[in-house]
Amino acid sequence: MSFTEPQQSKGLFASLSGLGATLVAMMQTRLQLLANDLEEDSAHLLHIAKLTLIMLFCFGIAIILLTILISVIFWDSHRILVLSTLLGFFVISGLLIGVYTNSKIKQKPTLFASSLSELSKDWQSLDIHSKDPS
């Protein structure tokens, strides 16, 4: 009888050790996935920021040159009307773009979405195993 007690305690210790190793491996996988998500998101944002700055520079120069061209064309006849109209156009455009940008900022997707879904699956898997009597 004393022969089976050490086997049971060794079996329990092995089970707990295996469970601990599984939990550590799961956490390592999830942390790697989280790091990958963060790296991809930051690289994507940096790329978008660079492209946006180049685009804004090009459009800014184009708008300045267009404003000068229109002002020169109408300088003798309707310069105040043209400059006022262009000013109004640029102010309204800036406001509309600001509102659109604000709505896009509020619609930002959830950061670490894939990591969170995997963690949710892990919790569901653990709940199933904890309720399973076998």
Contacting residues for 114 by C-beta, under 8 A, at least 6 apart: 33, 37
pLDDT in tens, 39-90: 888 888 888 889 989 998 988 899 899 888 888 888 888 888 888 888 898 8
- Evaluate whether 123 touches 23 at the Cβ level (below 8 Å): no
Q: How much is the pTM?
A: 0.45
Give the pLDDT of residue 126. Answer: 67
User: 103-117: per-residue pLDDT in tens?
Assistant: 888 887 666 677 677
Distances, alpha carbon 45 to alpha carbons 41, 42, 98, 111, in Å: 6, 5, 19, 12
| Nearest partner of 31 among 132, 112, 127, judged by Cα | 112
pLDDT at 129: 60
pLDDT of residue 128: 66
What are the residue ranges of helices labelled H in the chain? 4-73, 79-106, 113-131
